[in-house]
């Protein structure tokens, strides 16, 4: 079983050469930060991930969770690791200093998040949900609630959750039935049940702060009648100490395909007198407040795809170098399987995909930093537009790609990959849920087409394509990158053509457009990945013009980009054919044709 190693070389390349450090250094609160500091923090994150989180990853998967009278016990070593995690400050890197956060940029917390998830996805999900709760409270709650709950959430002393899904509603949040009854003192009594609540109950923290969507008695139907409530596991006294237990219980935990060390809970609110909750934001506008939490959570879930692809790639690469099997087709001598052509193809596919996804994740995080911190309002708006456009693409493309890459990781191991003792099956099992979290791929695709392309009239997409064409010009100027430039230019044209086509389709038949929206989203993701590789290749070639100790790394950057453009990018032509021609054959297929 391999040991996790943080991808520090690739992260260093991105931070030093692909991110706009000059602009980042001018942002409010980031003036004194440097790449050297970022790299130092990432190095320490790598040590923590390798030494503390990685050793309990496989054991946590095997041991799983225990529940006794509503109390959940996490696997051996997890609670202790959490205490070390928060003491080291890994939980609040980019949170507001006003409540105890470190105020560092999203680019840094995003990179740290990948490292930690690569070592132990189940463990990191607790802090990820807490950060989401903090963001929603910070955005919409009253000052009183902020002062009372944020300091201990930010410190990691308390955990946080998001409660949307119900047994009868699923992704149709507007159909939820959890009720909230207003009390004379301004609080509310919450009654209902929520399912699939990540870390809804655990032993990491003394208190858990649940954010719960519920409906007031006189609320309008659908999503316009949903309010958001803060419901603590233990009530909090005026002096900040813990009071009596609230009427909220974990009634069971799910038995899942993967993430066995992350409790997925069924939560009951108000089985007795009613769980006490406090309104967050305005009445009937809870979904907007929760969406702040959900939007950044989608970036985090996309990072799960990056992290598990990296972990699977490392294991496959180590095994391929060690496993001697068969002979070389030219020399007839026994060789390690990395010398076999198809194993090499699989490893290159994994490497090319994870580098594209990682680079895109940090581009989005950089845009998020600029949208929050830049002095110019127009720049903030411009950058937020890029974030809004790319998050559904990244979330869906990265998590769908992870299913393919972690499967390749198993295949590189051959039959041993199917055996749990090698550990690589866990990466696939842990990756499966990511395509569902925070909205399935279909939901992300509907958001991309309906809101980010059609409703926006393609304005942010035009900005993105403009950035791609700037990179294209750089690659076209290089005699060494002409093959990459040729493939990339054709891909940009395919993206432009299919974006216009699906927007027109949406206006004519929304159902037909949505039926091919997932192929369209994957096309966008693959082209955006090509853009990231083209940027990397251009920068690597520039750096190779000067003497460098990283010659092999930089050359590998160019050759990996070449592989992506020649092999992976070709998938867009099949997807484009689907976008052009498959809508009616899907929508006109009658229910009875599926069989009895």
Both structure tokens of 329? 């087709």
- Give the count of beta carbons closer than 10 Å to the beta carbon of residue 552: 9
Among 415, 390, 367, residue whose Cα is nearest residue 465:
390
Q: How far is 596 from 593, CA to CA, in rounded Å?
A: 8
77: enclosing H helix or E strand: none
Q: H/E element holding 46?
A: helix 35-48
Return the closest-CA partner of residue 298 out of 445, 434, 200, 490: 434
Catalytic residue among 438, 487, 549, 596: 438
What phi, psi does 181 have (nearest 5°)?
Answer: -110, 120
Q: With 0-12 CB in 10 A as exposed, 13-18 as middle and 19+ as buried, what is 159?
A: buried
Task: Give the count of beta carbons closer than 10 Å to the beta carbon of residue 253.
Answer: 20
* Percentages of the chain per state (helix, strand, coil), in multiples of 5: 65, 15, 25
3-state class (DSSP) for residue 198: strand
Tokens of 388: 């809004």
Instruction: Look at residue 266 and give its three-state secondary structure.
Output: strand
Strand-pair partners of 249 = 268
Angle of the 517-544 helix axis to the 459-476 helix axis, nearest 10:
30
Query: Closest by alpha carbon to 545, among 555, 556, 559?
Result: 555
Rounded CA gap, 125 and 116, in Å?
10
556-to-340, 454, 478, 535 alpha-carbon distances in Å: 19, 39, 17, 14
Q: Apex CA 439: angle with CA 309 and CA 359, to 5°?
A: 35
End-to-end CA distance of the chain: 46
Residue with the two structure tokens 């395509």 = 435
Place of tokens 């010398």: 339
**Element spanning 588, H or E:** none
CA neighbor of 362 nearest in space, from 532, 140, 484, 593: 532
Q: What is the Cα 198 distance to its own chain's centre?
A: 15
Nearest to 491 by CA among 578, 420, 564, 428: 564
Q: Annotated catalytic, 438?
A: yes
Specify which residues 227 forms β-bridges with. Answer: 214
Q: How many CB atoms lie within 10 A of CB 508?
A: 9
Q: Are 524 and 495 in contact (CB under 8 A)?
A: yes
- Tokens 């991110």 belong to 19
**Positions marked active-site:** 438
């Amino acid at each position: 079983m391999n040991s996790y190693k943080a991808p520090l070389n690739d992260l260093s390349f991105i931070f030093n050469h692909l991110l706009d450090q000059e602009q980042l250094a001018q942002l409010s609160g980031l003036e004194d930060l440097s790449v050297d500091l970022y790299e130092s923090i990432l190095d320490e994150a790598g040590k923590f991930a390798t030494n503390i989180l990685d050793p309990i990853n496989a054991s946590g998967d095997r041991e799983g969770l225990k529940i006794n009278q509503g109390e959940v016990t996490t696997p051996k070593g997890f609670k202790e690791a959490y205490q070390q995690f928060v003491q080291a400050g890994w939980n609040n890197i980019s949170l507001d200093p006003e409540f105890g956060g470190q105020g560092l940029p999203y680019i840094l917390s995003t990179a740290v998040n990948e490292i930690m998830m690569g070592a132990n996805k189940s463990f990191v999900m607790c802090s990820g949900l807490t950060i989401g709760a903090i963001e929603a409270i910070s955005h919409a709650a009253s000052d009183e609630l902020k002062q009372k709950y944020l300091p201990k959430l930010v410190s990691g002393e308390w955990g946080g959750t998001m409660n949307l899904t119900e047994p009868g509603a699923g992704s149709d949040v507007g159909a939820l039935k959890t009720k909230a009854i207003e009390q004379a003192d301004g609080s509310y009594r919450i009654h209902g049940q929520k399912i699939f609540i990540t870390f809804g109950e655990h032993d990491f923290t003394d208190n858990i702060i649940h954010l719960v969507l519920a409906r007031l008695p006189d609320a309008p139907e659908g999503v316009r009648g949903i309010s958001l409530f803060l419901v603590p596991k233990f009530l909090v006294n005026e002096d900040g100490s813990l009071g009596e237990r609230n009427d909220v219980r974990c009634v069971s935990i799910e038995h899942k395909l993967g993430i066995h060390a992350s409790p997925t809970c069924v939560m009951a609110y108000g089985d007795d007198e009613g769980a006490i909750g406090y309104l967050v934001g305005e009445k009937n506008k809870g979904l907007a407040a929760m969406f702040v939490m959900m939007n950044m959570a989608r970036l985090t879930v996309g990072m799960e795809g990056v992290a598990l692809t990296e972990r699977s790639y490392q294991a496959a690469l180590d095994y391929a170098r060690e496993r001697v099997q068969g002979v070389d087709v030219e020399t007839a001598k026994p060789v390690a399987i990395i010398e076999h052509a198809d194993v090499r193809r699989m490893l290159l596919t994994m490497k090319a995909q994870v580098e594209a996804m990682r680079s895109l994740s940090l581009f989005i995080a950089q845009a998020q930093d600029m949208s929050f911190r830049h002095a110019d309002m127009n720049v903030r708006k411009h950058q937020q537009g890029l974030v809004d456009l790319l998050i559904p693409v990244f979330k869906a493309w990265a998590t769908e790609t992870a299913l393919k890459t972690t499967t390749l990781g198993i295949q590189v191991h051959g039959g041993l990959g199917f055996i749990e003792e090698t550990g690589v099956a866990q990466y696939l099992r842990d990756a499966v849920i990511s395509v569902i979290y925070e909205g399935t791929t279909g939901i992300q695709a509907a958001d991309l087409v309906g809101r980010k392309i059609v409703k926006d009239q393609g304005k942010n997409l035009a900005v993105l394509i403009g950035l791609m064409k700037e990179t294209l010009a750089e690659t076209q100027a290089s005699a060494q990158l002409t093959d990459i430039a040729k493939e990339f230019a054709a891909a940009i044209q395919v993206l432009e053509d299919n974006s216009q086509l699906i927007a027109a389709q949406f206006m004519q038949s929304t159902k037909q457009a949505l039926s091919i929206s997932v192929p369209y989203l994957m096309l966008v993701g693959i082209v955006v990945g090509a853009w990231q590789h083209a940027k990397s290749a251009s920068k690597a070639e520039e750096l190779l013009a000067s003497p460098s100790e990283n010659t092999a790394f930089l050359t590998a950057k160019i050759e990996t980009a070449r592989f992506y453009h020649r092999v992976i990018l070709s998938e867009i032509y099949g997807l484009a054919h689907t976008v052009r021609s498959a809508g009616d054959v899907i929508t006109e297929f009658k229910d009875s044709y599926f069989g009895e």
